[in-house]
Structure 1
């Protein structure tokens, strides 16, 4: 996903200013694709140059409201149906698990405890977002809830897994960790 497509997607729901889009990011997309103020405004200028959005209204202090164009909607639809999503497989968090054997068992359990804690925090943060959003019946709200549920389930799963994994770490000389629930090993 790119910031370009995230902005086009938000604008497909309704016209918005850069400020409005930043607020929408904070309450929705930031968990999947964070963006800074400068990134949003720079990309809006690029989208306007490419005629994928247009400035539909101007207000005080240079405030601009952007509307997606037909070409922008076509670009968004092409991205959704004509391209394959990039599957990022790199995980610094999980890579460290492979090498916990160089630490003491207590240090390994501490790391996994930390991972369980940040997952629980992420879950609480998403619950707070869920409760703070004024959900509408529009598509952005409907699909936003589905994406939010992914984040909630992912954080719950990662917390549960980290707690389980911490219990698998044994004292030195006690043997390898027990196999996974299905009896297999990595």
Structure 2
């Protein structure tokens, strides 16, 4: 787990308003988990402690059963802005969908078509989910009068999945052309 990005994701979520570890976990799951970054509760709480120890966040309230509410500090805002304005570090890419699409030539055309269709269905579903999130975000004003946290990221996701949809339709056309050009394509193996 890249704690630097988790650190900055948490600072960004706290920039949207004070929250407890539980609330941050819920915000993470709603706004980042499925589309941008994965973190478990077991990662979030230790990182909150490190952020507090570094004076990037502060405990603003303590409640029952050790519940703490955190707020971003000025130093945390500076850290977040510095990170946002710095160039991203090279990252290891691990995208199973892209890997599968890269290896489609291993399959027979009907098998490849089935895989592309599943990929296209998923892109359609996620694009619709993101569009619904964008529509909901557009109807509710932000308490500070700024763009709602993540609204620009939601639109980025919409465009990303629209590109996957376009690719899926293009790939299906290519498979159809290949099949039409060679009607004796080998059939899926019977194994």
The CA RMSD over aligned residues, in Å, is 2.5
- Work out which of the residue numbers 12, 17, 31 in structure 2 matches 1:14: 17
Output the CA distance in 1 between the equivalents of 2:141 and 2:117. 34
Structure 2 unmatched ranges of 5 or more: 184-191
Output the CA distance in 2 between the equivalents of 1:166 and 1:145. 32
By how many angstroms is 1:87 displaced?
5.6
Cα 1:174–1:29 shift into 2, 3 Å: same
By how many angstroms is 1:84 displaced?
2.8
TM-score normalized by the length of structure 2: 0.79
Cα 1:116–1:174 shift into 2, 3 Å: same
Q: Secondary structure at the residue paired with 1:67?
A: strand
| Equivalent in the alignment of 2:179 | 171
1:119 and 2:120 correspond: no
By how many angstroms is 1:83 displaced?
3.7
Task: Kindly tell me the number of residue pairs found equivalent between the two proteins.
Answer: 175
Q: Secondary structure at the residue paired with 2:55?
A: coil
Q: Is the 8 A contact 2:16 2:149 kept in 1?
A: no
| Equivalent in the alignment of 1:178 | none
| Equivalent in the alignment of 1:105 | 109
Cα 1:21–1:52 shift into 2, 3 Å: same
| Equivalent in the alignment of 2:44 | 40
Q: 1:129-150: CA deviations, max 9, x gaps?
A: 3355545254774452111011
- Work out which of the residue numbers 159, 162, 181 in structure 2 matches 1:153: 159
| Equivalent in the alignment of 2:189 | none
Structure 1 unmatched ranges of 5 or more: 176-186
| Equivalent in the alignment of 1:59 | 63
Output the CA distance in 2 between the equivalents of 1:90 and 1:62. 38
Cα 1:88–1:121 shift into 2, 3 Å: farther
TM-score normalized by the length of structure 1: 0.81
